[in-house]
Amino acid sequence: MLIKAILVAIWVTWAFIDEHTLQLQTTRAIITGPVVGAILGDPHTGLIVGATVEMMFLGAVFVGTAVAPDVTLASAWATAFAVAAGGDTSVAIASALAVAILGQTMSTLQFSFVNVAILHWVEAGKKQGDINRVRMGTYLALALDALFYGVPTFLAVYFGASKVAALMDAMPEKLLTGLSNGGAMLAAVGFGMLLTTIKNKKLWPYFAVGYIAAAFVNLGNVGIGLLAVTCAFLHKYFLDMSKKGAE
């Protein structure tokens, strides 16, 4: 478990570095969940947890200086807890929100205090023409991702995994059910917020087609995906034909 906990901590640290630099989206739950699951030997549970947490926080975004609940820690820790509990994904839903809020607190501490202090230190060096201080400030801020997120993740996976089952047994059933239902409601709210971004009314018929296919036709995810690709090509085709007719 020691090696696995270290690998999970390294992945989480990399995900935060990616979020602050390259933004390859490895920080998203839909990616972090399966990766952590694969490290812990249960990629199937990781995929389920990653998709569930992704749905829960679809509407969580940075707005101004407000820090959104942290989806990376939520998915990584929740996956580890679910795997330790034998694949019980309700454990993930129950713990994801609390972990996300914990990550939000740590991010606020890092961005609002620690990184601000580093920035002032860098600015003082810039005025003196010290380019090395500018470079070191960048590296230091990224290295602190390991302290704020990697170390807590290691501790949670290494010490928490063997105790999750006993912890969940000790939790009142009503509390666990309430947290699970709350997480499910968050998924619906997040998806609803995402739908509000569809401003073009011409796109709503495609949403209706997808809903009908999922709710009544039972095509499955692969079939719905192929249907979505077909609709996209048809939309592009008729859009091009409309432009040619206008010309």
**Which pLDDT value is given to residue 186?**
57
**Which pLDDT value is given to residue 10?**
93
Instruction: Report whether 60 contacts 194 (CB < 8 A).
Output: no
**Which pLDDT value is given to residue 64?**
46
Distances (CA, A) of 36 to 31, 32, 43, 80: 9, 6, 8, 7
Percentage of the chain lying above the pLDDT 90 cut? 7
> Does this model's pTM top 0.85?
no
Q: What is the mean pLDDT of the chain?
A: 79
Residue 179: pLDDT band by 50, 70, 90 thresholds?
low
pLDDT: is 49 or 239 the higher one? 49
Quote the tokens at residue 238: 């008729």
Distances (CA, A) of 210 to 60, 90, 231: 24, 27, 10
pLDDT: is 37 or 217 the higher one? 37
**pLDDT, average across residues 59-73:** 65
Which of 69-78, 104-113, 135-144, 184-193 is predicted with the least confidence, judged by mean pLDDT?
184-193
**Which pLDDT value is given to residue 104?**
74
**pLDDT, average across residues 169-198:** 64
Percentage of the chain lying above the pLDDT 70 cut? 79
Give residue-wise pLDDT tens across range 127-174.
888 888 888 888 888 888 888 898 888 888 887 755 545 555 666 777
- What b/e readout covers 119-156, taking b as 16+ CB neighbours within 10 angstroms? eeebeebeeeeeeebeebbeeebeebbbebbbebbbeb
